[in-house]
Amino acid sequence: MKKHQHHAETEAVRGGTDLHKKNGPLATPIYQTSTFEVTDSDQQVRATSTDMFYTRYGNPTHTVAEKAIAELEGADAALLFASGMNAITTSILSLLKSGDHVVAQRDIYGGATKFFSQWLPKLGIETTFVDTVEYDQHARAIQPNTKLLYLESPTNPVLRVVDLRKVTALARQHNLITFIDSTFATPINQRPADFGIDLIMHSGTKYYAGHADLICGIVAGRKDLITTIHETRTTLGGTMDPHAAWLLLRGIKTLAVRVQRQNDNALRVAQFLAQHARVRRVHYPFVEGHPQRPLAMEQMQGGGGVLSFEVDGSGEDARQLSEALHLFTLAPSLGGVESLVTIPVLTSHGMISPEHRQKMGVTEQLIRLSVGIENADDLIADLEQALTVVTGTHQHAQVG
Ligand SMILES: Cc1ncc(COP(=O)(O)O)c(C=O)c1O
């Protein structure tokens, strides 16, 4: 895919905009319109394949954001969707047909698990779920009709890191399309296209937008695949609203600085939790002692703002702790400037069967934090006071 001309911090601020234009508005205008006027039928015909025809097909505000994203990801092209789930479902429906087979890692977002296990079988598309980091299992699951390898890294909520070199080598050997949910990493911390991943998906709702004020999905990647997915998006209709696309674009300009601060804060919080007597286990790949730290440091620039930990107590202890926090707001979602706390079995993983959750390591004691851009000392002090509600004590937390 494309070579980067600038560093990520520069691409985040300047990407997608035409640096040579003169006397234009510095901020991208919002084309808040459903349709575009033409002067005659010839112009109408020419307009149909552009971003100034009808907004379900595309819109100039989308185009600027899509170009900025493609630059940041180092991908040929990018597309916006009405939600992260819409980006996943539209892409998969676009690339697969009845009789095809998918190999998917087990630790993927709950909505994607549901789509693969409950919806795709109705269309004659089967999925085999494999252990996320057991690559022999991936290889064994591949069948003659396997078309796609579905990945997520780092995973939600226990932050497993997938070896991108290993999975792309396997996919190449079997001619599979690789599709990764890279939401937790952001292009500031990880650029899967540089490892040869074909399609990179984000819930843009999270870090890309960054302010918990919009819902959006993103897919970036190979031009031929993006063209196919674009056609399907037009048919299925999951286009983003132009005003939300403009808010997203504004969020992208501060993506690099937000994520760098979130990396620093989350590492500090993980280090604090790893030495706390009332914590049984900490999941954060950049913390010292994590078995996947060498891999994470090799393929990522930072660990990101999400981490999870198990309290040394009961599910009830975990609930009480989450309610005792003041600076971490009790809410699902992640990636915004405010710190949030959630209990995955009650939110993101509530729709997954207990057996499947067990295999993922998602217990009732597990708490997920999305660390924001506040002062790290304040966040740690808040956790310190809230941890007093937990009854059990351990010598040292396990990491990973
Ligand atoms: C890792 C991940 N992927 C996909 C999604 C779905 O995104 P959206 O809520 O924007 O549809 C989420 C939402 O929480 C997520 O956390």
Find out whether 371 and 269 touch, Cβ atoms under 8 Å: yes
Domain residue spans of the chain: 8-253, 256-399
Determine the distance separating the centroid of ligand 1 and the alpha carbon of 348, expressed in angstroms: 9
Residue 20: the pLDDT is: 63
**Count of residues for the chain?**
400
Provide the pLDDT for residue 356. 78
Under 8 Å between Cβ of 200 and 192: yes
Name residues contacting ligand 1 (CB within 6 A): 83-85, 109, 111, 156, 181, 183, 203, 205, 215, 217, 333, 348
Question: Which residue ranges in the chain fall short of pLDDT 70?
Answer: 19-21, 392-396
Best residue among 106, 156, 348 to mutate for probing ligand 1's pocket (most ligand atoms within 8 Å of CB) is 156
- What's the 167 CA to ligand 1 centre distance in angstroms? 22
Report strand pairing: 177-181 vs 126-130. unpaired
pTM of the model: 0.95
Q: Which residues are catalytic?
A: 56, 109, 181, 206
| Nearest Cα to Cα of residue 214 among 222, 224, 203, 198 | 203
Instruction: Look up the CATH number of domain 256-399.
Output: 3.90.1150.10
H/E element, 46: helix 41-47
By most ligand atoms within 8 Å of CB, the mutation choice from 205, 214, 247, 334 for ligand 1 is: 205
Q: Output the pLDDT for position 44.
A: 95
Q: Which of 80, 81, 109, 216 to mutate to test the pocket of ligand 1 (most atoms within 8 A of CB)?
A: 109
Ligand 1 centroid–CA 42 distance in Å is 42
Domain 8-253 sits in CATH 3.40.640.10? yes
- Alpha carbon distance 3, 8 (integer Å): 12
Alpha carbon distances (Å) from 315 to 90, 343, 397: 36, 9, 17
